[in-house]
Amino acid sequence: MSGIDRVGVVGCGAMGTGFAEVAARAGLEVTVVARSEPAIARTTERLAHSLERALKKGKLTTEERDAALSRVTFTTSLKDLRDRQFVLEAVRESLADKREVLGELDAVLTDPDAVLASTTSSIPIMKLGQCVRDPGRVLGVHFFNPVPVMPLAELVASLRTRPAVLDRTRSLVTHTLGKQVVQAQDQPGFIVNSLLIPYLLAAVRMLESGPASAEEIDRGMVLGCGHPMGPLALVDLIGLDVIVSVAEAMYEELKEPLYAPPSLLLRMVEAGFLGRKSGRGFHAYDA
């Protein structure tokens, strides 16, 4: 077993909140670091709503819901993570931002064996590990959204990650959190996004060049290929801004045109059309 019962997470977006919920439901003591008190209020509401939804679906009892909520503590100070045995960095997909957080965590954590994990979906772990004194305790743990529902996590070790760190994290993710894992090489996009991002960008380019509407593209892939949703609807669900960040990181590293964000995607992000979270992307959504 992992021997981990105290975890932390920095960032309270979909990934950070989802990890906090899964960890709390698994019986772990969770501390979440947010940027501000308003962010804490929003995250608390999001977490409570997700647990209530699970309760209504019969996936947990009232007692289990209340117990999970009681295990999560919110703060705005990284210093409150000093006693954590495992900390997940879940800030936005930016090399500079992630390295800043990991560097600060490296100075705060008192346990030299504490694991520093990143939820990055595209940035090589070796680049992230360079900002800490011991790159051997840094690795990637890429969950999928929504974390409480999706069964998979990608584990990514850099050339410097210690085998014991990888094994301990694998035990935490599989035995404690109940996820299945695939281990990926430390390259941009790892396994899933290396295949997914070119597919999504190809759908945007098809729409941009005019052969079919967004509705027709999505309907074609759902009915013709058996996908649960079309590529443009999936971009809306993930967030157009997130797709741009991931694609740009992969293109910067690999310089392959299939990873370059199309102009249409860039213009939509500039216009604030970010998908479901903004009410409009390639499709329109109720506010």
| DSSP states of the chain | -----EEEEE--SHHHHHHHHHHHHTT-EEEEE-SSHHHHHHHHHHHHHHHHHHHHTTSS-HHHHHHHHHTEEEES-GGGGTT-SEEEE---S-HHHHHHHHHHHHHH---TT-EEEE--SSS-HHHHHTTSS-GGGEEEEEE-SSTTT--EEEEEE-TT--HHHHHHHHHIIIIIT--EEEEE-SSTTTTHHHHHHHHHHHHHHHHHHSSS-HHHHHHHHHHHH--SS-HHHHHHHH-HHHHHHHHHHHHHHH--GGGSPPHHHHHHHHTT--BGGGTBSSSB---
Write phi, then psi, for 88 (nearest 5 degrees). Answer: -105, 120
Q: Are 141 and 153 in contact (CB under 8 A)?
A: yes
Supply the residues annotated as catalytic: 121, 142, 154, 193
